[in-house]
Amino acid sequence: MEHHLLCTFSSLLLLFLFLFSSIPVTSQFPFGSNKQAHNYSNVSCVENERQALLQFKHGLIDESNRLSSWIGEECCSWEGISCHKTTGSVLKLDLRNTVPFDDSDDDYFKNCLGGQLSPSLVNLTNLRYLDLSSNIFSGIQVPAFFGLLKNLRYLNLSSARFDGEIPHHLGNLSHLRYLDLAWNSLSIKDLGWVAGLSSLEGLVLSKLNLTAAQDGLQSINMLPSLTTLDLNACELFIHPHLSHVNFTSLAFLDLSLNKFNNYRAPPWLRNLTGLHDLRLGSNSLFDSIHGLFDQMTCLVHLNLSSNHFCNASSLTYLDLSWNNLQGSIPSEIGQLINLTYLDLSHNNVQGSIPSEIGQLSKLTNLLLTRNSLNGTIPTNLGQLTKLQAFDVRSNSLTGVLSEDHFAKLRELKYLDLTGNSLALNVSSSWVPPFQLQEIWMQSIIVGPRFPAWLRTQNELEVLDMRNASISGAIPSWFLSKNKSFPLGLYLSHNFLAGHIPQLQRVLSVLALNDNRFTGTIPEDLCKSENLSELDLSNNLLSGRVPLCLGNLRDLQYLFLANNSLSGQIPSSLGNLWGLSYLHLNANKFVGKLPASMQHLSNLLIFDVGDNGLKDTIPAWIGEKLSELMFLRFQSNNFHGPISDTLCQLSHLQVLNLAHNNLSGFIPRCFNNITAMVSGQDGGLAIESQQSLQDIKGGREVEYDASSLELVKSLSLSANNLVGEIPDEIMELVQLQVLNLSQNHLTGKIPDKIGNLKQLETLDLSMNELFGAIPELI
C-alpha cells in the first residue's frame, strides 16, 4: 500500500522532471544506443506495470527464449526493461533483435520476436522508449493503441515486417522525438498525421513506398524541430515548391531514390543552411539533369559573408552519386572545409579535379567513379591526411602520378585508378605512407619493373595490376609473406616471366593469364584452399597438371588454356563440384576424359578443344552435365558416333565437335536442345572475362564473355559423318553458325533450311550433297 502511494507520487515527480529536462543531443539519434539504459535491480517495479508486461509477453512468440528473465517480482531487472531510478516505473522497453541480419543465418530469425502486441502496454503510462525493431511481426498492423503511449519520446518499429495501414493515431504522440518506421511493408496513403508530432526531431521512413502519399512532404514540413529526415528509397514525390520551409533545422537529409519534378533539385534545398549530411543519390537514372548540379554549384559557390544562401560550409557528407550531373567541379569546393565524404560517382562530371580539393583536410572518401573527368590528378591530393578511399575508376584522367601525389595519405586503404590513361612513376626505394587493402590499377602503367613498394604493403586483400606493363619475374618476397586473409591477385596481361612463384600466402583469386610464365604449375597453389578462380591461360607452362588441384573445392573458374600442359587430365578435377568454367583447350593433353568429371554438374562452359584426347563422346556429358551452355571438343581424336545423350543438354548454345574422327549419322534429336530452338534461353549472365573461341566463317574468332549470351552455334565439320542432314536441324532457328562441312553427308539440302533466319555462317561444303540449293529466304 505504502509502496503504491510512493509510486504514484513519484510518477508525478517523474512527469515534472520530463517536462523540464532536456536530453543532450550527442549523436544523430541520442536514444539510439543502449548506453542510457540501466537496469536498476534495487528498485521495485510497479505491480500494475509488471502485470502489463507479463500480459505483453504472453502475446509474443519468443522462439529463442530471449525473455526468459521475465519472471518474478523485479520487473525492472528483466531483459530489455529500464525503470525510473526511484519510482520503479517502466521507462524503456527495448526488444530490438540485435543479432545482425543475415538471410542465410538462422540465428537472426531465431532471435526474432513475433506474435501479437498486447494492448496491456498502455498501462506502462510512463513509457518513453519503445524499440521493437528487427523482429518479425508479419501479418499484423502497427497497433492503433500506440497512439495512447502519450509519453513516448522514441519509437522504433523498423525492419519488423509490419503490414497494412499505418494508424493515424500515431499522430497523437506529441512528445515523440524519434520515429523510425523504415523497412516495413506498410502502405501509407497519407502522411497528414505526422503534422501532429510537433516535437519530432528524427523521422526515418526509408524503404517505405510513399508513392501514394502525394502531400507527404508538405506534412513533414509542419515539423519545425526536425533535424534528421531519412526518406531513402521512398518513391516520394519531392515538391519543387514549398511556400515556406519549416524544417530549416535539418542537419541530415536523405532523399536518395525518390521522384524529383523534372529531375531537378528543389530550390528550397538552399534554405537548409544547417545541413551536415545531404544524400541525393540515384534520382535521375534516365534523364539529363542540370538542376541538381546547379544545386551543387550553389552549395559550393557559397559566399561566407552572406548567410542566407547556400551556406553549405557546414556540410560534412555529400552524396550526389548515380545522377546525371553535368559541368565541372568548381574550385570553390575547397571552401567545404568540413567535408569528410564526397561521392559524385556515376554522373557526367567533366573537366579536371580542381587542385583546391587539397584544402579538404577532413576528407576521408573521394569517390568520382564513372564520370568524364580529364586532365591530371592534382599533386596536392597528397595533402589529404585523412583520406581512406580514392576512387576515380573509369574517367579520362591522364598524366603521371608521383610520390608527391601520395605524400601524406597515411590513412589510405582503397585506391582505384582503373580505366584512366595514367602512369605511376615512383622510385624503387619508395616507402609509401599508407597500408593499402585494395589496389585497383588495371591498365595503368606501373612497370616495367615489378613495383618494389608493394613489399611494404602488409594488409593487401586485392591487388589488380592487369595490363600494367610489368615485365620480368615476380620477386620471391612478394608472395612469401604468411598472411591469414586471402588475397585476390590479378596480374594478367603483363610481360611477367620465369616460374610461377612459390606461394606462402593464401589466395582467393589468382589471375596470371596472358604472361610469359614457364615451367610447371606449382603444387603450392593447392594450399590456397579458398581459391575460387585460377587463371593461368596463355602462358608457356608445361608438364602435368598437379593432382592436388582437385583439393581446391571452392574453385569455380579454372582456366589453363593455351599452354603446353601434357599428360592425362587428372581425374581429381572431378572433385571440383563447384566448377562452372573449365578451359583446358590448346594444350597437349592425351588419353580419355576422366569419368570422374561427370560430377561437375555445375559446369556451364567446358572446353577441351585443341588437344590430343582420344575417346568416344561419353554418355555422362549429356546425362550429368545438364547446365552446360558451351561444349567444345574441336581438334582432338574423338571417335565413334555422336551420342544421342548430347541432346539432353537443353541449355547448350555452342556445340563444337569439329575436326575429330566422329562417324555415323547426325543425331535426329538436336531439336531437343531448346537453347538453339527458342530465343528464351541463354539469359544466364556470363561473368568471366575469359574469351571463348569457336569457329565462325572458317576462321577463329573470339567471343568475349558478354557476347556468348547471343551466340548459338553448331559445328560438326571435318569428321566422318554420313547420311542425310536431319530435318530436325532445321528447327534450330536460333543458330547463327551451322558448319557441317568436310564430312560424307549425302542427299539433298533440306528445303526448310530457309527457317534458319539467324544464320550468319552456313558451311555445308565438301560433302556428297546433291540437288538444287533451296531458297534461303
Cβ neighbours of 644 (radius 10 Å)? 14
| Nearest-angstrom CA–CA distance, 67 and 77 | 11
User: Which helix (DSSP H) or strand (DSSP E) does residue 217 occupy?
Assistant: helix 216-220
652 lines the binding site for ligand NAG (CB under 6 A)? no
The DSSP call for residue 568 is: E
Q: Using the minimum distance from each CB to ligand NAG, give the nearer residue, 48 or 435.
A: 48
Q: Using the minimum distance from each CB to ligand NAG, give the nearer residue, 202 or 609.
A: 202
733 lines the binding site for ligand NAG (CB under 6 A)? no
Per CB under 6 A, the segment of 203-211, 560-568, 634-642, 711-719 that binds ligand NAG is: 203-211
651 lines the binding site for ligand NAG (CB under 6 A)? no
428 lines the binding site for ligand NAG (CB under 6 A)? no
Among 36, 206, 211, 626, indicate the residue that binds ligand NAG (CB under 6 A): 211
Which residues is 543 bridged to in the sheet? 565
244 CB-near residues (< 8 Å, 6+ apart): none
* Shortest CB 202 distance to ligand NAG, Å: 5
Three-state secondary-structure class, residue 267: helix
| Nearest-angstrom CA–CA distance, 551 and 371 | 43
Distance of CA 91 to the CA centre of its chain: 41
Per CB under 6 A, the segment of 306-314, 378-386, 545-553, 683-691 that binds ligand NAG is: 306-314
202 lines the binding site for ligand NAG (CB under 6 A)? yes
* Shortest CB 137 distance to ligand NAG, Å: 13
Q: Which three cell numbers stand for residue 80?
A: 530489455
207 lines the binding site for ligand NAG (CB under 6 A)? no
Please check whether residue 633 is in contact with residue 654, taking contact to mean a CB–CB distance below 8 angstroms. no
134 CB-near residues (< 8 Å, 6+ apart): 96, 97, 98, 101, 112, 158, 159, 160
* Shortest CB 241 distance to ligand NAG, Å: 7
| Nearest-angstrom CA–CA distance, 421 and 395 | 9
Strands (E), 334-454: 341-343, 350-351, 365-367, 372-376, 389-391, 396-401, 414-416, 421-424, 438-440
| Nearest-angstrom CA–CA distance, 295 and 278 | 12
Q: Does residue 330 have a cis bond before it (omega within 30 degrees)?
A: no
246 lines the binding site for ligand NAG (CB under 6 A)? yes
Residue 573: exposure state from Cβ atoms within 10 A (0-12, 13-18, ≥19): buried
Binding mask 364-383 for ligand NAG (x = CB under 6 A): ----------xx--------
| Nearest-angstrom CA–CA distance, 723 and 746 | 5
Binding mask 311-350 for ligand NAG (x = CB under 6 A): --xx-----------------------x-----------x
* Shortest CB 589 distance to ligand NAG, Å: 28
513 lines the binding site for ligand NAG (CB under 6 A)? no
Q: Using the minimum distance from each CB to ligand NAG, give the nearer residue, 731 or 763.
A: 731
Per CB under 6 A, the segment of 120-128, 525-533, 600-608, 693-701 that binds ligand NAG is: 120-128
* Shortest CB 470 distance to ligand NAG, Å: 11
Nearest to 715, CA basis, from 707, 704, 701: 701
Q: Using the minimum distance from each CB to ligand NAG, give the nearer residue, 169 or 483.
A: 169
268 lines the binding site for ligand NAG (CB under 6 A)? yes
649 CB-near residues (< 8 Å, 6+ apart): 621, 622, 625, 626, 628, 631, 655, 673
The DSSP call for residue 650 is: T
Binding mask 438-477 for ligand NAG (x = CB under 6 A): -----x-x---------------------x----------
Q: Using the minimum distance from each CB to ligand NAG, give the nearer residue, 397 or 531.
A: 397
Nearest to 291, CA basis, from 329, 321, 324: 324
Per CB under 6 A, the segment of 12-20, 206-214, 432-440, 745-753 that binds ligand NAG is: 206-214
715 lines the binding site for ligand NAG (CB under 6 A)? no
Using CB under 6 A as the binding criterion, the count of chain residues that bind ligand NAG stands at 59
- Three-state DSSP string of 143-194: CHHHHHCCCCCEEECCCCCCECECCHHHHHCCCCCEEECCCCCCECCCCHHH
266 lines the binding site for ligand NAG (CB under 6 A)? no
244 lines the binding site for ligand NAG (CB under 6 A)? yes
Binding mask 136-175 for ligand NAG (x = CB under 6 A): -----------x--------x-xx--------xx-xx---
Among 17, 71, 212, 540, indicate the residue that binds ligand NAG (CB under 6 A): 212
Per CB under 6 A, the segment of 62-70, 308-316, 709-717, 726-734 that binds ligand NAG is: 308-316
* Shortest CB 150 distance to ligand NAG, Å: 8
The single residue listed with the C-alpha cell 595490376 is 465
What does the chain come to in residues?
777
421 CB-near residues (< 8 Å, 6+ apart): 396, 397, 398
Contacts to ligand NAG by CB under 6 A: 29, 32, 42, 48, 52, 55, 96, 119-120, 122-123, 133-134, 147, 156, 158-159, 168-169, 171-172, 178, 180, 193, 202, 204, 209, 211-212, 221-222, 224, 235, 242-246, 268, 271, 308, 313-314, 338, 350-351, 374-375, 400, 425, 443, 445, 467, 493, 644, 647-648, 669, 672
